[in-house]
Amino acid sequence: MSELTLVEAINDALHVEFARDPNVLVMGEDVGRVGGVFRATAGLRESFGVDRCVDTPLAEAGILGTAVGLCMAGWRPVCEMQYDAFSYPCLDQLINHVGRYRWRSGGKMEFPLTIRMPYGGGVRAPELHDDSPEAYYVHTPGVKVAIPATPADAKGLLAAAIRDPDPVVVLEPKLHYRTLRGSVPDGEHVVPLGRARVAREGSDVTVVAYGAMVPLAERAAGALGSEASVEVLDLRTLKPLDEDALLASVAKTGRAVVVQEAPRTCGYAAEVAAILAEKAILDLHGPVLRVTGYDVPYPYWKLEDAYMPSVERVVDAVRKLLAF
Amino acid sequence: MTETLPVERDLRRVIGDGDTQPDGEVDGLDDADLVELFRQLVLMRTYDERSLVYHRQGRIGTYAIFWNHEAMQVGVVCALEDDDWIFPSYRESAIGLLRGMPADTILSWWRGHPAGWWNPADYNVASICVPIGTHVPHAVGLAWGKKLRGEPTCAVAFFGDGATSEGSFHEGANFAGVMKAPVILFCNNNQWAISTPLEDQTAAETLADKAIGYGMPAVRLDGADVLAVYEATRDAVAQARAGDGPTFIEAVTYRAAPHATADDPRLYIDPDRVEEERQRECVGRFEGYLRRRELLDDDLAATIRDEAAQVMRDAIAKAEAEPDPDPELLFSAAFADPPRSFDHDLAELRRILAGE
């Protein structure tokens, strides 16, 4: 075990997977010479050569489009999108091809590519460095989506994504790249896709969260103290979702608050709420509540604390639900 | 450093007109190869003409016609090795025929049937790209990836004049130049993108001019001249294999048929200009070339046409004999390990389809 920050854990995963599989390469903007603007890919070029850590032209659709061709040539590309909102041009390739090509080939051709990107707000950055775009990705058929909340999961989920035979998008909470430190297993470490994690056990209410909202949910649970016994469920993978873990937790607590940083409408929390309505209605003592960003563009940063889900808003939702 | 300026303005031609323009010759093709080229042109032409009939008979769905585009497809594939990859747009839907793909597979694709699925690696022919130009980066990535592996493979992406307005084309072309990818960007400039003429598509004097900005050489040729296509592609392949990177080929022709079966070009195109083009269509021009060289007579031409017609009769019969696809195919091909929710979805669908 090593004590690593979240971004160091990502860097560790890449080094381990590069050494394990010579078909893995990293491509993206500024990933080579400088090792990525967050240093997630630092050292790869020195250890594994320029061909496997490629500084590409500044073109996100071109990055993902050429990655499709690289897959056809037997590579397992890991594409870095420099920021969440900079990934939108790559949706062209993602929707038209990445999510469809296996199906289009009758399941005969694999596209084992990984797209990783920092996501989320709270970092006092300029516009379009703060988005939570997970719903676009989750909504795309043929694509899996993982979002780690801890350094150990950042390593393990990225390793799982790289080894997966299908395209996986990994969204990394940039707020916690350097502010969250934790124990990370040395060497090969894989966290299977599709398995949630109980981050904190409780019996009165389940707070469902992922990524940067998990530590927030844990803080809210702590703030509630003896007022409520809060279980925090870290989904870890949005697609495929660990429905068993979700339903088991809610069967135990009978109450659910879902927290997401993204705008509310058609966000992932709505999907969680719908699943609970379909499959857990008799377990529920009250409505499923959502704590989300608002249906507005992500604000300039003097306003971002008002936009972001806060400990206070999660606490408020839990209290409302307990009083229902 | 490869010379990229200036782009040529004249169109390269090999086949003469049997009158004032003399026939040329190309290296690398013997008499048997030339007859084989004709056989392939006829197969493609027959596929296209029969498909239009099948569409009118309701036996295939909407179909993108490639009449008078056959020379581009046949000429390119003839210049490739079997290990080289082809990235077709829908205008090249039947190009797999030139790599041994059964015609019924392609007819099934146009029938919307999963029997039209193929594994691209079986033929080194990528799936048909429906969105415009988005496969250009795929071809570049494949070529770049093969080069990184030290393999001598090239790739060709086919796209139309309209695709040169798409971001994907430009991003792909730029990657190709930067990575020195062994790829050929083959632009079928038939001067129409459905109803939009070339002058509304670009202010550039030629499409080949666009290659300059990506540091790659460009060639302009007569897209209805199979030998000119072959020759230019052969040279571009040699350059790519030598490590000198990509080439842009602008094959100029004129769309002498509707964009697709759902299109009515009478609303926008000059019928006299279309008729003029139909008089110089690519299969007939090459047939004239072969007859002038006494490599083809009426008997051989008839035999070749009969064989192609039989291929299509057999293919449509086979495609129509395919049983309806099982709904299981909805779910089985999307992921290597489908999520458990798919099992539930399929079971429920089966129950409802069974009327239970």
SS (H, E, C) B25-53: CCCCCCHHHHHHHHHHHHHHHHHHHHHHH
A114-119 and A76-80 strand pairing: parallel
User: What is the phi-psi region of residue B150: left when phi exceeds 0, alpha when psi lies from -120 to 50, beta otherwise?
Assistant: left
In this prediction, residue A178 carries a pLDDT of 97
Q: Rounded CA gap, A267 and B166, in Å? A: 30
CB of A116 within 8 A of CB of A80?
A: yes
- Domains (range + CATH), chain B: 31-325 (3.40.50.970), 327-356 (no CATH)
Cβ distance of B168 and A110 shorter than 8 Å:
no
Q: Which residue of A has its CA nearest to B183?
A: A69
B96 touches chain A (CB under 8 A): no
Q: Which of B45, B91, B259, B285 is catalytic?
A: B259
Residue B327: alpha-carbon gap to chain centroid: 31
In this prediction, residue B3 carries a pLDDT of 54
* pLDDT tens-digit series, residues A196-206: 999 999 999 99
Using CB atoms, pick whichever of A75, A106, A194 lies closest to residue B117: A106
Cα distance between the two ends of chain B: 70
Q: Rounded CA gap, A99 and A168, in Å? A: 10
Cβ distance of B142 and A73 shorter than 8 Å:
yes
Q: Is the dihedral of CA B198, B201, B206, B208 positive or negative?
A: negative
Mean pLDDT, chain B, whole residue set: 95
What residues contact B236, with CB distance under 8 A and at least 6 apart? B184, B219, B247, B249
Contacts of B179 in chain A (CB under 8 A): 66
Q: Rounded CA gap, A245 and A107, in Å? A: 29
- What distances in angstroms separate CA A268 from CA A210, A248, A319, one per listed residue? 10, 19, 22
In this prediction, residue B4 carries a pLDDT of 54
**Residues paired with residue A145 on neighbouring β-strands, in sequence order:** A169, A239
* Number of neighbouring beta carbons within 10 Å of residue A187: 8
Cβ distance of B333 and A107 shorter than 8 Å:
yes
Q: Which of A97, A129, A176, A189 is catalytic?
A: A129
Q: Rounded CA gap, A133 and B331, in Å? A: 26
Q: What is the mean pLDDT of residues B76-98?
A: 98
A76-80 and A24-28 strand pairing: parallel
Please say if A129 is a catalytic residue.
yes
**Residues paired with residue A237 on neighbouring β-strands, in sequence order:** A146
Contacts of A166 in chain B (CB under 8 A): 335-337
CB of B100 within 8 A of CB of B308?
A: no
Cβ distance of B127 and A61 shorter than 8 Å:
no
B108 touches chain A (CB under 8 A): no
Q: What is the mean pLDDT of residues A187-198?
A: 98
Contacts of B174 in chain A (CB under 8 A): 57, 59, 62
Closest CA to B208 of B199, B195, B200, B217: B217
Q: Rounded CA gap, A258 and B178, in Å? A: 46
User: What is the phi-psi region of residue A53: left when phi exceeds 0, alpha when psi lies from -120 to 50, beta otherwise?
Assistant: beta
> Cα-atom radius of gyration of chain A, to the nearest Å?
19
Q: How confident is the model at residue B8 (pLDDT cuts 50, 70, 90)?
A: confident
Q: What is the mean pLDDT of residues B317-327?
A: 97
Which two structure tokens, joined as six digits, stand for B122?
A: 């079986």
* Number of neighbouring beta carbons within 10 Å of residue B111: 20
B149 touches chain A (CB under 8 A): yes
Q: How confident is the model at residue B5 (pLDDT cuts 50, 70, 90)?
A: low
CB of A238 within 8 A of CB of A268?
A: yes
In this prediction, residue A213 carries a pLDDT of 98
Using CB atoms, pick whichever of B131, B139, B335 lies closest to residue A166: B335
Mean pLDDT, chain A, whole residue set: 98
Q: How confident is the model at residue A121 (pLDDT cuts 50, 70, 90)?
A: very high
Cβ distance of B149 and A110 shorter than 8 Å:
no
Cβ distance of A67 and B141 shorter than 8 Å:
yes
In this prediction, residue B269 carries a pLDDT of 92
B247-252 and B183-189 strand pairing: parallel
**Residues paired with residue B193 on neighbouring β-strands, in sequence order:** B196
Q: Rounded CA gap, A285 and A222, in Å? A: 22
Q: Rounded CA gap, B176 and B215, in Å? A: 9
* Number of neighbouring beta carbons within 10 Å of residue A5: 18
Which two structure tokens, joined as six digits, stand for A149?
A: 């909340």
What distance in Å separates residue A167's CA from the closest CA in chain B?
9
Cβ distance of B339 and A194 shorter than 8 Å:
yes
- What distances in angstroms separate CA B172 from CA A134, A322, B175, B205, B245, one per listed residue? 26, 56, 5, 21, 13
In this prediction, residue B356 carries a pLDDT of 84
Run of H or E including B86: strand B85-87
Q: Which residue of A has its CA nearest to B114?
A: A106
Please say if B259 is a catalytic residue.
yes
Cβ distance of A72 and B339 shorter than 8 Å:
no
Using CB atoms, pick whichever of B117, B127, B145 lies closest to residue A70: B145
Q: Rounded CA gap, A237 and A153, in Å? A: 10
In this prediction, residue B1 carries a pLDDT of 43
A28-37, A314-323, B63-72, B260-269: least confident range: B260-269
Q: What are phi and psi of A253, to 5 degrees?
A: -95, -30
CB of A77 within 8 A of CB of A67?
A: yes
In this prediction, residue B6 carries a pLDDT of 60
Q: How confident is the model at residue B196 (pLDDT cuts 50, 70, 90)?
A: very high
Which two structure tokens, joined as six digits, stand for B319?
A: 């495609």
- Domains (range + CATH), chain A: 2-184 (3.40.50.970), 197-323 (3.40.50.920)
Question: Quick one: DSSP state of residue B295?
Answer: S
Task: Name the H helices within chain B.
Answer: 31-56, 70-78, 103-110, 120-123, 136-148, 167-179, 198-201, 226-241, 271-279, 282-292, 298-321, 328-332, 340-353
Q: Does the structure show a pLDDT above 80 at B268?
A: yes
Burial of A46 (0-12, 13-18, 19+ CB in 10 A): exposed
Cα distance between the two ends of chain A: 44
Cβ distance of A68 and B121 shorter than 8 Å:
no
How many contacts, defined by CB atoms under 8 Å, are there between A and B? Answer: 140
Q: What is the mean pLDDT of residues A102-123?
A: 97
What distance in Å separates residue A302's CA from the closest CA in chain B?
35
* pTM for the whole structure: 0.97
Using CB atoms, pick whichever of B119, B137, B167 lies closest to residue A66: B137
Q: Which of B268, B273, B293, B313 is catalytic?
A: B268
